[in-house]
Amino acid sequence: MKQGILTLSELTKFIELLKTSYKVFAPVKKEEGVFFEEVNSADDIALGYYNSKLPPKRLFLPQCEVLCTFENGQLVEIPIADEKCAIFGMRPCDALALSRIDMVFDKEDLKDPYYLARRKNTVLLSLVCDKPLDTCFCTSVGGGPSSGDGSDIRMVHLGNRLLLEALTEKGESLISSAKQFLKKPKQSDLEEKEKIVAESEKKVPRIKVDGIKENLEKGFNLPLWSAIAERCLGCGVCTYLCPTCYCFDITDEVKGEKGKRIRTWDSCQYPLFTLHASGHNPRPSKTERMRQRIMHKFFYAVENFGRTFCVGCGRCVRSCPVNLDLRESIELITGNKACVSTRK
Amino acid sequence: MENPYIPYPVTIEEITIENEARDLKTFKLVFDRKEDEEKFRYLPGQFAELSLFGKGESPIGIASSPTEKGFLLFTVKRAGLVTSELHSSETGRKIGVRGPLGKPFPWERMEGHNIVIVGGGFAFTTLRSAITYILHPQNRPKFGKLMTIYGARTPGELLYKKDLEIWSKDDRIELHVTVDKATEGWKGREGLVPNIVKEVSPSPKNAIALVCGPPIMIRFTIPVLLNLGFAEDDIILSLEMRMKCGIGKCGRCNIGARYVCVDGPVFTYKELEGLPAEY
Amino acid sequence: MEGIETKIRETAKALFSEKKIDILIGHEKGSLVFHSRPVMIRDANDTERLVWNSFCTNNLAVYLPRFFEPKKPKKGEVPPPLPRVAVIAKGCDARSIIGLVRERQVPRQNLIIIGVPCEGMIDKSKLEKLLEGDFIASGSIKDGGTSITGFSGKRLDIKKEQVLLDACIECAFPVVEDADIAIAGTSRKPATEKYKTAKSFSEKSPAERWRYFAQEISKCIRCYACRQVCPNCYCKECFVEQTNPRWVSAGDDLSEKMVFHIGRVFHQAGRCVECDACVRACPVGIDIRTFTQKVAQDVKEMFDYCPGFSPEVSPPLCAYRLDDRQEFITEP
Amino acid sequence: MGAEEQTVTSQKVTAQSKNKTDGWKPKVVAFLCNWCSYAGADLAGVSRIQYRPNVRVIRVPCSGRINPLYIVKALQEGVDGVLVSGCHPGDCHYISGNLFARRKFAILKNYLTYLGIEPERVQFSWVSASEGTRFAMLIEKVISDIEKLGPAQKLVKEVSR
C-alpha cells in the first residue's frame, strides 16, 4: 500500500501507533520558536509551522555524543544508539540535507557507525512545505517544497487531512502497519496536492546560483572575500543552525578516573578549527574562514559528492546577528548585482 | 561494522630520547592483541592517531617500517596537551593507536626509480620508515639508487642517530647528513639542506624525490629540485595539518577540495600546485 | 527619524571630504524586513547607504579592536599609521567604545564618535511573538506606531513602546556623553528605575531562581554568539577554549554550560553596559539579560561605578578602598 | 594537614556518589593564603587543636590569587563547600592582594547566591597567622554549615550520562 489519507482526527491514534515501536519526535512550538522534541501526543505537534529554529540534524548528529567511555585509561564501553525513532513533520529541505550528510558519513570504506545506526533506526515522515518564507531559496539549489530525498514518507497537509505517500520500503511498511487509520486517497486529494505543491513552488523566491562552482574555482583570491566577511563576527551560529553542516570536534571529558571521549559540534568559523600545535593557522582570519564555508558548500562538496551542500532553508540568513546574507554572497560571486530578488 | 573511532590498545615498550633538548622522544609500541597487529597493515608514509584516554588524540607519522615486525615506532615532539602527557609517561603505560590513516608514498609508482629522500628536522619520521622499507633485502632490488639528505639545526637535534650510523656504513644507500650550525666534535657536513641538495645535485633521470620537513625548508628545497630537472610530478611531499577524526569526516584538514587525512598526507608537488595555497 | 538619517549622511560626507577619517562604521538597510545591519564605509559616495531607524540594534563597538591590533612590523619597516575611524554611536555603543578606550584596546585620538539621539530600538522577536510564531512578511512604521503583516496575512498595528527592546525600556543613559560630533535630535527619557530585571528576579526564591537558571542555560548550544557580539569580549584566547588548564569541556553537560556562562558574566563585572547584543544574538533565545544585570547592579551598589563614562577612573576590580563592604566575610 | 600542590585539578577532588542518608561526609576545599591563613592552620596543628578533618587545604600565595573560576570549578567537580581565607585587610604580605580579592569575592558571593546556590556553599574569611584557635573554630563552623545543607547538587558535573 503506497498511499493513504489520514484525517487529522485520527492523528492522535496514528501517533499512538507510532509510539508503540518508535520514539516520536515532532515540531513543538516554544516561546523562542519551533524545536524538534519528543512528543507524547498529537496535540503537541505544531503542524502549521514554517521551519524549526534548530535543524532536526540534531537528532542524528547531536551537539554532544559519547564515542566511548573509559576508566583509568582503559576502554569501557562504546554506546551506539539503538533505540528506534520516528521524526514526524520534518520539512523536505531538512530531509534533503540529511541525504547530503549521508554521503559523507556513509562512504564505502569509512563508515560512521554512530550516525548510521541512528539513521537506520529512524523513519522520516516529511511534511510538504506549503509555507516558504522570504529567506527560503530551496528551488534554486536543487531542492523543492515537495522533494522526497532523504525521507521515507512524504505527507501533504490537505486542510483537515494528511495525504501520506511512501517513498521507501521503510515508509511502505509503516503505512501498511497503519492501514486501519488510512483511507484510499481520492483523485481530488491528489489534485489538491498538486495544486498546493505548484502554488508553494511559485512562492519560493529564486536566486541566481548557476555558475557558482566555476566562479569559485577561479575565485579563491578575489578581493570580494574580504568584502563579504567584513561584517562577520565569527560566531558560528550559521554553521550550528545549518542542516547540512556536519563538522565536529573530538575531545576527552574527564572527572576523576572516569571519562568519556565525546564528539561535539564544531565550526569552520572558529579560529581553533585549523590551529596547528606549532601556532601556524592556515585560515587565520574571518575572511579565509568565510571563504571556506562558501567554497565547501558550493564547490568542494560538488567536486567530492556531486551535490551542493546547501538546501536553501534560510536559517543562516535569518539568525546571523549582523545579517550576513548568504544569498547576497552567492549573487556577488556569480557576478549578478548583489541584490536579493525578493518574492516575485 | 568496523568502528573507525576506537583505537587499538597498545603498550609503550621503550622510550628513547632523540635530542638534547629532550622534547623529541621515540615511542616503541606493542599491540596488546595479535589480531589488531594483523589488521594494522600499513606502508611507509601513512600516519596514525595516538590516543591517550583523558587527554585526546594526536596525528603522528609512523616511523617504523612494515618490514620491522611486532612493534610500531612513533617520534613525538612535546607540543600540546596529548604530546606533553605522552612525554611524561613511562614504559608499560597502556595507550591507543588508531589507524593506519592516510595514503602512503606511491610505492608501486616508485618501483624501478632512483629514490632521493630529503628530510629536515623532526619530520624525518615517515622518511626513516621509507628508508628502512627500501633497504629491506626483499624490497631493495625493486628500486634504483637511494640517496638521502637529512639535516637538522644542530648535531644534538638529529633523529635516529643509531640508524644514521648503520646507514652511513651501508653501501646500498648514499647518506648525506648536515647540520645548520655545527658544534665542536661534529665532523660531518655543515649547511642548510637546500644548499646541500644543490651541492650533492642528485640526477633527476628516472628519479623520484620524497621531501619532508618544516615549511621553510620545503619552500627553499623545491626550487632547487626543479632547477636540477626534477618534474613537478616526481617531487612528493608529506603535509602537516590540524586533524581530529583522521578519516575525512570532521572537515578541518582540507586544502581546497582535498582532505589531507584521506587524500594525503602525501601529495605530489604538481597536485599541490593545483590546490589553493591554504596550508 | 528621517531628519537624523540625513544629518548622519551629511556629517559622514563632510568627514570624508575633509579627509578626517579613513573608515566610518554605521548601519545600512538589511536584506530582511525590519532589519538594519552594520556597514563599513570607506569613501564619500557610499555614505548614501547609511540609514537610521528603529532597527539599528547592533553594537558597533565590537568592530573597533580589529583596526588597532598591534602588528609586528617587518624588520626595518615603519608600521603603517593607525586608521582614523568614525562610529555612529547611540548611548550604549558610545559607552562600550569608552570602555574599550579605558582598556586600551582602541586609541581615543583615532576615534570620532558621532553621537546619535536614540529613541529606543524595536525588538523583532517581540513583534514575532505578537504574530504568534508567524514571521513578518512586510511592515511599515508611522509616527510612533508600527503596522506589520505576517506571512499568514494577519495584520497588526502596535505602538512602538509596546515592542521596544528590554534594554531600551530600562536604559538609563540614552544620551551620548563624550561624542565628538553630536547629531541634534530628541532621545528617549532615561528610565528612572534601574536594574529592574535583576531586582524582580532576586525576589524569587533560591530554588525558583536556580530552576530558571538551569532551564535557560540548558538551551545553550555552545555557539558562543553571545561572546562574539560583545564588545567587551576581545580576548585572543577565551578561557572556554583553553586546554591547559581546561576550565570547561566541550560537552553538553549542564554544569559545563553553567561554568561558561558564570565565567563570561563574571568577566563583565564593571564592563557590561547592558546593550543586550548578547540577548539578540542568541539563536536559542536564552534570557541572558537576567543573569548579566545582577553583576552590573552589584558593581553600582557596592563600588558606585558605572561603566562607559570617565575613562580615567579605574574600573572596580582594579581598585580598592580600605572601607569596602565585607558583610559576607564569615566570622567564626 | 599536608599541603597539596597548588592548582585545583580534577584528580584532586573526586566526588563519591552521595545521597543524603548513607553516611555522607562533607568534602570542603579551603584555599588558604600562604602567609596568614595557612600559617594559622599550621599553628592550629602544632598546638594540637582538634578540628574536623573533612577539609582539603590548598595553599595559594595570596587570596588575591584566587580566580573565581577556581571556586566554580571546585563546585563543579563535586565538592560540597569552598572556603577562601586570606590575611586581614591591611596585613597582606603583598599589601593589596586581599583588598582586590575582597571586591571579587563580594561580587562572586552575591552572584552565586543570586543564581540560587546556597550562600553557605562558598565562604570567605580572614585568619591571621596567630589565630590558630580561631582557624579551628572557623573550620568547625563551615563544616557544620555544609552538613546542614547536605551534599552539593547544583553545578555538579556528571560524566556517567
Q: Please give, rounded to a whole number of angstroms, the shortest distance from the CA of B183 to a CA of chain A.
A: 26
Cβ contact, residue pair B6, A78, below 8 Å: yes
Residue A344 belongs to some domain of the structure: no
A61 in contact with C, Cβ within 8 Å: no
List, in sequence order, every residue forming a beta bridge with B73; answer none if it has no partner.
Answer: B28
What is the reported pLDDT for C135? 83
Task: Domain of residue C309: give its range.
Answer: 193-332
What is the reported pLDDT for C127? 86
Average pLDDT over residues B263-272: 93
Give the pLDDT means over successive 10-residue stretches in chain A (344 positions): 86 91 93 90 88 92 93 91 92 95 92 94 93 92 91 92 92 90 89 92 90 90 90 93 95 88 94 90 93 95 94 94 93 68 32
Cβ contact, residue pair A75, B83, below 8 Å: no
Cβ contact, residue pair A252, B56, below 8 Å: yes
Neighbours of chain A (3+ CB pairs under 8 A): B, C, D
Do A145 and A192 lie in a common domain?
A: yes
Cα distances from A18 to residues A34, A89, A219, A238, D146, in angstroms, run 21, 13, 50, 33, 49
C237 chain-B contacts, CB cut-off 8 A? none
| Helix (H) or strand (E) segment spanning residue B117 | strand B114-120
What is the reported pLDDT for C133? 73
Q: Please give, rounded to a whole number of angstroms, the shortest distance from the CA of B64 to a CA of chain A.
A: 23
Do C129 and C139 lie in a common domain?
A: yes
> How many CB atoms neighbour CB C71 within 10 A?
8
What is the reported pLDDT for D12? 35
Indicate if the pLDDT at residue D9 is higher than 60: no
Per-position DSSP letters for A207-229, written without gaps between them = ---TTHHHHHHH-TT-THHHHHH
Q: Please give, rounded to a whole number of angstroms, the shortest distance from the CA of B228 to a CA of chain A.
A: 30
> How many CB atoms neighbour CB A253 within 10 A?
24
Do C203 and C89 lie in a common domain?
A: no
What is the reported pLDDT for D1? 35
Q: Please give, rounded to a whole number of angstroms, the shortest distance from the CA of C179 to a CA of chain B.
A: 43
A274 chain-B contacts, CB cut-off 8 A? 241-242, 252-253
Do A196 and A232 lie in a common domain?
A: no
B220 in contact with A, Cβ within 8 Å: no
D153 in contact with C, Cβ within 8 Å: no
Indicate if the pLDDT at residue B83 is higher than 70: yes
Cα–Cα distance, A260 to C230 (Å, whole number) = 32
Q: Please give, rounded to a whole number of angstroms, the shortest distance from the CA of B83 to a CA of chain C.
A: 13
| Helix (H) or strand (E) segment spanning residue B52 | strand B47-52
Q: Name the domain boundary from A171, A203, A235.
A: A203
pLDDT digits (tens, 9 = 90+) for C275-299: 999 999 999 999 999 999 999 999 9
D30 chain-C contacts, CB cut-off 8 A? none
* pTM, to two decimals: 0.91
Q: Are A99 and A29 in contact (CB under 8 A)?
A: no
What is the reported pLDDT for A336? 65
Give me Rg for the CA atoms of chain A.
Answer: 21
Average pLDDT over residues C222-239: 93
Q: Which of A69, A256, A259 sits opposite D14 (nearest CB)?
A: A256
Q: Are B62 and B46 in contact (CB under 8 A)?
A: yes
Do C44 and C178 lie in a common domain?
A: yes
Phi, psi of A134, deg, nearest 5: -70, -15
Predicted ipTM?
0.89
Apex B208 CA angle, B202 and B212, nearest 5: 90
Residue C63 belongs to some domain of the structure: yes
Q: Which of A69, A253, A256 sits opposite D11 (nearest CB)?
A: A256
Average pLDDT over residues C207-212: 96
Do C180 and C202 lie in a common domain?
A: no
Residue A182 grid coordinates = 488510512
Do C114 and C133 lie in a common domain?
A: no
Task: Domain of residue A45: give its range.
Answer: 3-203
Cα–Cα distance, C300 to C166 (Å, whole number) = 20
- Ordered by start, the domain boundaries in chain B are 8-101, 107-238
- Report DSSP state, residue B232: G
What is the CATH superfamily name and number for domain B8-101? Translation factors (2.40.30.10)
Q: Which of B55, B252, B278 sits opposite A288 (nearest CB)?
A: B278
Q: Please give, rounded to a whole number of angstroms, the shortest distance from the CA of C253 to a CA of chain A.
A: 9
pLDDT digits (tens, 9 = 90+) for B122-138: 889 999 999 999 999 99
A260 in contact with D, Cβ within 8 Å: yes
B80 chain-C contacts, CB cut-off 8 A? 243
What is the reported pLDDT for A344? 29
What is the reported pLDDT for B223? 94
Specify the pairing of strand C136-142 against strand C111-115.
Answer: unpaired
Pick the range with the lowest mean pLDDT from A11-15, B234-238, C140-144. C140-144
Q: Sheet holding A74-77: strands in order across?
A: A74-77, A64-71, A258-265, A248-255
Cα–Cα distance, A37 to A25 (Å, whole number) = 5
Q: Any alpha helices (H) in chain C, and if so which ranges? A: 2-17, 91-102, 124-130, 166-169, 196-202, 206-217, 225-228, 254-266, 277-281, 289-303
Which candidate in A70, A75, A78 is best for mutational testing of the B interface (most B CBs within 10 A)? Answer: A75
> How many CB atoms neighbour CB D87 within 10 A?
25
Residue A112's contacts (CB-CB under 8 Å, 6 or more residues apart) are: A105, A106, B4, B5, B249
pLDDT digits (tens, 9 = 90+) for D30-53: 999 999 999 999 999 999 999 999
Cβ contact, residue pair C31, A327, below 8 Å: yes
Residue C301 belongs to some domain of the structure: yes
Residue A316 belongs to some domain of the structure: yes
D11 chain-A contacts, CB cut-off 8 A? 256-257
**Position of cell 552590573?**
C296
**Position of cell 594540637?**
D48
Q: Which of B83, B215, B249 sits opposite A104 (nearest CB)?
A: B249
What residue type is assigned to position B164 of the chain? L
Cα–Cα distance, D97 to D31 (Å, whole number) = 14
Q: Are C168 and C121 in contact (CB under 8 A)?
A: yes
Looking at CATH, the fold of the domain delimited by B107-238 is given as Rossmann fold (3.40.50)
Specify the pairing of strand B72-77 against strand B24-31.
Answer: antiparallel
Q: Please give, rounded to a whole number of angstroms, the shortest distance from the CA of C242 to a CA of chain D.
A: 13
Instruction: For chain D, list residues whose CB is within 8 angstroms of any CB belonging to chain A.
Output: 10-11, 14-15, 77-78, 157-160
| Domains of chain A: total | 2
| Domains of chain C: total | 3
D89 to chain C: nearest residue by CA?
A: C322
Q: Are B266 and B104 in contact (CB under 8 A)?
A: yes
C135 chain-A contacts, CB cut-off 8 A? 50, 133-134
For A69-94, what is the HEC assignment?
EEECCEEEECCCCCCCEEEEEECHHH
Do A149 and A223 lie in a common domain?
A: no
Do C43 and C177 lie in a common domain?
A: yes
Range 167-226 of C in CB contact (< 8 A) with A? 219, 221-225
Do C240 and C323 lie in a common domain?
A: yes
Do A198 and A217 lie in a common domain?
A: no
Q: Are C187 and C168 in contact (CB under 8 A)?
A: no
C242 to chain B: nearest residue by CA?
A: B81
Residue A195 belongs to some domain of the structure: yes
pLDDT digits (tens, 9 = 90+) for C152-184: 778 888 888 888 999 999 999 999 988 999 999
Residue C304 belongs to some domain of the structure: yes
A271 to chain B: nearest residue by CA?
A: B252
List, in sequence order, every residue forming a beta bridge with C85; answer none if it has no partner.
Answer: C23, C111
Do C53 and C137 lie in a common domain?
A: no
Do A279 and A316 lie in a common domain?
A: yes
Q: Which of A69, A256, A260 sits opposite D10 (nearest CB)?
A: A256
Cβ contact, residue pair D157, A259, below 8 Å: no
For C264-319, what is the HEC assignment?
HHHCCCCCCCCCCHHHHHCCCCCCCHHHHHHHHHHHHHHHCCCCCCCCCCCCHHHC
Do C250 and C148 lie in a common domain?
A: no
Q: Please give, rounded to a whole number of angstroms, the shortest distance from the CA of B278 to a CA of chain A.
A: 5
Q: Which of A110, A261, A280 sits opposite B248 (nearest CB)?
A: A110
A252 chain-B contacts, CB cut-off 8 A? 53-56
Cβ contact, residue pair B54, A70, below 8 Å: yes
Residue B115 grid coordinates = 629514490
Do A167 and A79 lie in a common domain?
A: yes
Do A257 and A137 lie in a common domain?
A: no
Q: Which of A63, A133, A321 sits opposite C281 (nearest CB)?
A: A321
Q: Which of B52, B250, B276 sits opposite A248 (nearest CB)?
A: B250
Q: Which of A248, A259, A303 sits opposite B257 (nearest CB)?
A: A303
Do C37 and C180 lie in a common domain?
A: yes
The model's confidence at residue D104, banded by pLDDT at 50, 70 and 90, is very high
Do C203 and C133 lie in a common domain?
A: no
A256 in contact with D, Cβ within 8 Å: yes
What is the reported pLDDT for C161? 85
Q: Are C285 and C276 in contact (CB under 8 A)?
A: no
Q: Which of C256, C265, C320 sits opposite D157 (nearest CB)?
A: C256
Do A113 and A167 lie in a common domain?
A: yes
What residue type is assigned to position B211 of the chain? V
Residue A10 belongs to some domain of the structure: yes
Do C42 and C156 lie in a common domain?
A: no
Instruction: Say what angle helices B161-169 and B125-135 make with each other, to 10 degrees.
Output: 30
The model's confidence at residue B40, banded by pLDDT at 50, 70 and 90, is very high
Instruction: Say what angle helices D68-76 and C254-266 make with each other, to 10 degrees.
Output: 170
C203 in contact with D, Cβ within 8 Å: no
Cα–Cα distance, B225 to B235 (Å, whole number) = 8
